[in-house]
Amino acid sequence: MRTRTIFAALVLIFIGIIVGLTLSSRLDVQKITLAQETNISEETREFLGKLSDSLSEVAEQVKPAVVNISTTKTVTLRQSPFEDLFNDPFFRRFFGREFPFGHKRKYKSSSLGSGVIVTDDGYILTNNHVIKDADDIKVTLYDKRSFKGKVIGTDPKTDLAVIKIDAKGLPALKFGDSDKLRVGEVVLAIGNPFGLSHTITMGIVSAVGRSNVGIADYEDFIQTDAAINPGNSGGALVNIKGELVGINTAIFSTSGGYMGIGFAIPSSMAKAVMKSIIKYGKVIRGWLGVTIQDLTPEIAKHFDIKEKKGSLVTDVVKDSPADKAGFKRGDLIIEFDGKSVEDSTHLRNMVANTPPGKTVQVRIIREGQEKILTVTLGEFPETITAERGTFRNVLRGVHVQELTPDLRESLGIPDKVQGVLVTGVEEDSPAFGSLKRNDVIQEINRKVIKNIKDYEKVLSKIGPDESVLLLVYRGGGYIYITIKE
> How crowded is the C-beta side of 437, counted as CA atoms within 13 Å?
5
The H or E element that residue 57 is part of is: helix 42-62
Spatial contact of 62 and 173, defined as CB atoms under 8 Å apart: yes
Spatial contact of 309 and 366, defined as CB atoms under 8 Å apart: no
Which one of 159, 220, 331, 343 is the catalytic residue?
Answer: 159
Q: Is 233 a catalytic residue?
A: yes
Closest C-alpha to 337, from 406, 383, 288: 288
Which one of 70, 114, 211, 233 is the catalytic residue?
Answer: 233
The CA distances from residue 191 to 69, 226, 238, 421, 425, in Å, are 10, 12, 11, 39, 32
Q: For the chain, what percentages of helix, strand and coil (3-state, to nearest 5) are there? A: 25, 35, 40
Q: Is 311 a catalytic residue?
A: no
Which amino acid appears at position 331 of this protein? Answer: D
Q: Give 6's contacts (C-beta < 8 A, 6+ positions apart).
A: none
Calpha distance 16→18 (Å, rounded): 5
Instruction: Report how far apart the first and last C-alpha atoms of the chain are (Å, whole number).
Output: 107
Calpha distance 122→204 (Å, rounded): 30
Burial class (CB in 10 A: 0-12, 13-18, 19+), 432: middle
Closest C-alpha to 227, from 256, 203, 253: 203
Calpha distance 366→387 (Å, rounded): 39
Which one of 129, 155, 276, 344 is the catalytic residue?
Answer: 129
Q: Is 406 a catalytic residue?
A: no
Which residues are tagged catalytic? 129, 159, 233
